[in-house]
């Protein structure tokens, strides 16, 4: 997404920055002199940055290794990227090193699985210290719960006559500790049970379907404490995807805010234009920072590609201004 971002103009004065030489080249082509000064009315500047703060690699349920995700983002002219693997930070180091090579701004990210009101909800953490001990210990605990759940999923699928799914799913998981429903879905497509991943979810591995296994993830409080304890900022991932009534959604946002949650993902690959508008309004009302991300998992398996997002609605405070 291309957005107006004040700090982008910092670079025009030649201040040191982690931002991209490609972006600088783009800016150099822009007419007219500009210099950073706090009194400038930046809202008049054209959109400058392509920001994507939500994507996955093989460190969780993405299809591409972290380094390739970053290279693809570079090819798609992304200026600022956060890799947000589920419950795992192991892709961050290689992603950052490629981002450095490309002079792309890279933000540490993670998508933490929590349980709220009986639903699986995802929280994004950004710009935290990746070596933080409680954060890493919390994520390790979620991962060990994943392996237990996966064994139970394999057993449930076996009961309906589809054997070998735990091993089959594991063969798709580059990071076995991060075994996920996506890996089961890919295996079930491979063996011809469904024609695509989406159909597997609908028919087998969502609540009410035979291969679904309920799981107690982290709590909202825990995930926020880990993110904040590591110096990070928390955002509700794709709030439009949860099966929450409007009052339940508000209760969730109230609780998130009450516990210090700072942001919501307004623009997501999985949000329609109506949802972008709705969550833009809610971000304003609650005073949340606004985030945006493709939720790219891999070619052919995602809503949209890296860096191909619609702009944030006007008047919101972009989360990256807080990084
Ligand atoms: P898990 O964390 O193992 O419960 O798996 C959740 C992941 O499955 C999400 O992060 C998505 O990548 C994927 N997923 C969830 N629902 C669907 C769906 N309806 N269609 C395709 N992928 C989905
Ligand atoms: Mn996923
Ligand atoms: Mn998610
Ligand atoms: Mn995601």
Q: Which residue has the tokens 């995807």?
A: 241
Encode 259-278: b = buried (16+ Cβ within 10 Å), e = exposed.
Answer: eebbbbbbbbbbbeeebbeb
Is 210 contained in some domain?
no
Give 30 or 75, the one with higher predicted confidence.
75
- At residue 48 the predicted structure's pLDDT band, cuts being 50, 70 and 90, is confident
Is 58 contained in some domain?
yes
Instruction: Return the minimum-mean-pLDDT range out of 29-43, 46-60, 141-155, 191-205.
Output: 29-43
How far is ligand 4, taken at its centre, from the CA of residue 48, in Å? 25
Ligand 1 atom 9: the closest Cα is on which residue? 182
Is 156 contained in some domain?
yes
Is 211 contained in some domain?
no
CA distance 256 to 276: 19
What value does the mean pLDDT take over residues 303-310?
96
In this structure, the chain runs to a length of 323
Per-residue pLDDT at 131 = 98
Asked if residue 223 and residue 162 are part of one domain, the reply reads no
Domain assignment of residue 188, given as a range: 139-205
The token pair that represents 34 in the structure block:
């500009």
Is 134 contained in some domain?
no
Ligand 1 atom 5: the closest Cα is on which residue? 181
Is 39 contained in some domain?
yes
Asked if residue 171 and residue 46 are part of one domain, the reply reads no
How far is ligand 2, taken at its centre, from the CA of residue 247, in Å? 26
What value does the mean pLDDT take over residues 289-313?
96
Would the pLDDT of 80 be above 70? yes
Render pLDDT for 144-169 as a digit per residue (tens, 0 to 9). Answer: 999 999 999 999 999 999 999 999 99
Which contacts (CB < 8 Å, 24+ apart) does range 314-318 have? 315/284, 316/266, 316/280, 316/283, 316/284, 316/289, 316/290, 317/289, 317/290, 318/3, 318/5, 318/51, 318/289, 318/290, 318/291, 318/292
Is 212 contained in some domain?
no
| Boundary of a domain, candidates 182, 205, 228 | 205
What value does the mean pLDDT take over residues 71-97?
98
- At residue 312 the predicted structure's pLDDT band, cuts being 50, 70 and 90, is very high
- Looking at the DSSP bridge assignments, the partners of residue 236 are 123, 264
How far is ligand 2, taken at its centre, from the CA of residue 109, in Å? 14
Asked if residue 46 and residue 169 are part of one domain, the reply reads no
The token pair that represents 123 in the structure block:
């929280």
Q: Identify the CA nearest to 69 among candidates 84, 81, 80, 57.
A: 57
Render pLDDT for 208-247 as a digit per residue (tens, 0 to 9). Answer: 999 999 998 999 999 999 999 999 999 999 999 999 999 9
Instruction: Return the minimum-mean-pLDDT range out of 9-23, 27-41, 51-65, 192-206.
Output: 9-23
Would the pLDDT of 37 be above 60? no
Per-residue pLDDT at 316 = 97
Ligand 1 atom 11: the closest Cα is on which residue? 182
Asked if residue 115 and residue 30 are part of one domain, the reply reads yes
CATH of the domain at 293: 3.20.20.140
Per-residue pLDDT at 56 = 98
- At residue 47 the predicted structure's pLDDT band, cuts being 50, 70 and 90, is low
Render pLDDT for 103-137 as a digit per residue (tens, 0 to 9). Answer: 999 999 999 999 999 999 999 999 999 999 999 99
Asked if residue 270 and residue 300 are part of one domain, the reply reads yes
Asked if residue 125 and residue 225 are part of one domain, the reply reads yes
Give 12 or 212, the one with higher predicted confidence.
212
> Whole-number mean pLDDT of the chain?
89
Per-residue pLDDT at 19 = 36
Give 12 or 195, the one with higher predicted confidence.
195
C-beta of 181 in contact with ligand 1 (< 6 A):
yes
Per-residue pLDDT at 1 = 55
CATH of the domain at 179: 1.10.150.650
Asked if residue 118 and residue 253 are part of one domain, the reply reads yes
Is 292 contained in some domain?
yes
Asked if residue 10 and residue 156 are part of one domain, the reply reads no
C-beta of 294 in contact with ligand 1 (< 6 A):
no
Render pLDDT for 174-213 as a digit per residue (tens, 0 to 9). Answer: 999 999 999 999 999 999 999 999 999 999 999 999 999 9
Put residue 151 in one of left, alpha, beta given phi > 0 → left and psi -120 to 50 → alpha. alpha
How far is ligand 3, taken at its centre, from the CA of residue 297, in Å? 10
What value does the mean pLDDT take over residues 48-67?
97
- At residue 87 the predicted structure's pLDDT band, cuts being 50, 70 and 90, is very high
Asked if residue 51 and residue 145 are part of one domain, the reply reads no
- Provide the number of structural domains found in the chain: 2
């Amino acid at each position: 997404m291309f957005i107006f971002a004040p700090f982008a103009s910092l670079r025009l004065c030649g201040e040191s920055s982690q931002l991209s030489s490609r972006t600088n080249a783009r800016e150099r082509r822009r007419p007219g002199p500009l210099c950073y000064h706090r009194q400038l009315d930046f809202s008049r500047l054209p959109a400058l940055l392509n920001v994507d703060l939500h994507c996955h690699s093989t460190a969780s349920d993405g299809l591409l290794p972290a380094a390739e995700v970053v290279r693809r983002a570079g090819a798609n002219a992304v200026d600022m990227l956060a890799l947000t693997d589920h419950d795992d930070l192991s892709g961050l180091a290689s992603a950052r090193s490629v981002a450095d090579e490309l002079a792309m701004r890279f933000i540490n990210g993670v998508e933490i699985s929590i349980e709220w009101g009986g639903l699986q909800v995802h929280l994004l953490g950004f710009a935290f210290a990746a070596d933080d001990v409680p954060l890493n210990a919390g994520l390790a605990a979620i991962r060990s719960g994943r392996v237990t759940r996966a064994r139970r999923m394999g057993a449930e699928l076996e009961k309906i006559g589809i054997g070998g799914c735990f091993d089959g799913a594991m063969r798709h998981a580059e990071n076995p500790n991060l075994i996920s429903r996506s890996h089961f879905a890919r295996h079930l497509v491979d063996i011809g049970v469904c024609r695509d991943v989406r159909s597997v979810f609908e028919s087998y591995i969502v609540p009410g379907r035979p291969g679904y296994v309920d799981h107690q993830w982290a709590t909202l409080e825990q995930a926020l404490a880990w993110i904040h304890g590591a110096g990070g900022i928390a955002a509700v991932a794709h709030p439009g995807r949860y099966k929450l009534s409007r009052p339940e959604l508000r209760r969730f946002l109230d609780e998130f805010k009450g516990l210090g949650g700072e942001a919501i993902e307004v623009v997501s690959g999985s949000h329609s234009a109506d949802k972008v508008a709705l969550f833009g309004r809610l971000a304003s009302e609650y005073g949340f920072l606004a985030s945006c991300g493709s939720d790219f998992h891999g070619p052919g398996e995602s809503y949209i590609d890296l860096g191909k997002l619609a702009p944030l609605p006007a008047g919101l405070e972009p989360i990256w201004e807080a990084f």
